[in-house]
Amino acid sequence: MSPLASAYYDRSLALLAAAREQNAATIAALAPILGASVARGEVIHTFGSGHSEIIAREIVGRAGGLVCITSINDPTAGFIENLVGYGTALVERYDRQYELRAGEVVIVISNSGKNSSPLEVALHAKKKGCIVVALCSLAMSTTAKTVHPGGKNLHALADYVLDNGGVPGDTVMQLTPDIATGPTSTFVGSSLLNWLMLSVMEWLKTNGHPLPVLRSQNIPGAIEHNRAVGAKYKHRLSKQLA
């Protein structure tokens, strides 16, 4: 491994440890909220702006994850995330198809916290009485000027904030005086969501609630199991089961 890659590895481990420590209390507070929602038969919604869509999809329809998680998908993959009004149209269409119900949790992911689409998704979710969890870089969301006419960044709109601990620009390694590299938002953000989901599942188990957890389709009987645990959610999931 090159010296730069090795240094990135060390920096990444430190960031991951810091994110765990910094967000532990928020995850502990959120686990019973999401757990109670799942216990009521509700779903958890995710949205990621641009590259953050990768993080939003991390916990959707995956082996070992809760079946009752669904994502608000952007067909432009963030290409027009700063077109004011687009995020509103996107989330309103999703709401008509899959429903955002009062009391449900919507996790909105935007590293910068400044782009229009995630802000509009969060605003619509709040209007519907949902609980909004922001996943962002607080160092960037608190300093970058939003492009949205509402004037607020994502962290300021959310009920709860998970901080990925990243730096503005999402690059922690300096390759040359003019070129920085080494992104951290994806692996730290995905870890935060997985820590949260594990905490939710543990809460469900501890409190005696069913565990609607998916199995890998590559093991015998898994598809049938997944269809069974997902049966009551299938009309609310944007990613359909096999």
In a domain, 120, yes or no: yes
pLDDT band per the 50, 70, 90 thresholds, residue 149: confident
In a domain, 241, yes or no: no
Average pLDDT for residues 217-240, to the nearest whole number?
93
Average pLDDT for residues 132-151, to the nearest whole number?
93
> Residue 241 above 90 pLDDT?
no
169-203 residue pLDDT tens: 999 999 999 999 999 999 999 999 999 999 999 99
> Residue 234 above 90 pLDDT?
no
**Residue 139: exposure state from Cβ atoms within 10 A (0-12, 13-18, ≥19):** middle
In a domain, 215, yes or no: yes
Q: What percent of the chain has pLDDT over 70?
A: 100
**Could you list the residue range(s) of the whole structural domain that residue 58 is in?**
3-236
Ordered DSSP codes for 1-50 = --HHHHHHHHHHHHHHHHHHHHHHHHHHHHHHHHHHHHHTT--EEEEE-G
**Mean pLDDT, the chain, integer:** 96
Q: Is 167 helix (H, G, I), strand (E, B) or coil?
A: coil
The DSSP bridge pattern shows strands 69-71 and 44-48 to be parallel
In a domain, 156, yes or no: yes
pLDDT attached to residue 239 = 87
In a domain, 132, yes or no: yes
Give the residue from 66, 127, 65 showing the smallest Cα distance to 95. 127
pLDDT attached to residue 90 = 97
> Residue 242 above 90 pLDDT?
no
In a domain, 72, yes or no: yes
pLDDT attached to residue 99 = 96
In a domain, 242, yes or no: no
Q: Supply the CATH number for residue 167's domain.
A: 3.40.50.10490
> Which segment of 12-21, 131-140, 142-151, 201-210 scores lowest on mean pLDDT?
142-151
| Number of domains within the chain | 1
Give the whole-angstrom CA distance, residue 27 versus residue 69.
17
95-109 residue pLDDT tens: 999 999 999 999 999
42-96 residue pLDDT tens: 999 999 988 999 999 999 999 999 999 999 999 998 888 998 999 999 999 999 9
pLDDT attached to residue 157 = 95
Give the whole-angstrom CA distance, residue 204 versus residue 212.
10
Give the whole-angstrom CA distance, residue 118 versus residue 152.
11
pLDDT attached to residue 84 = 92
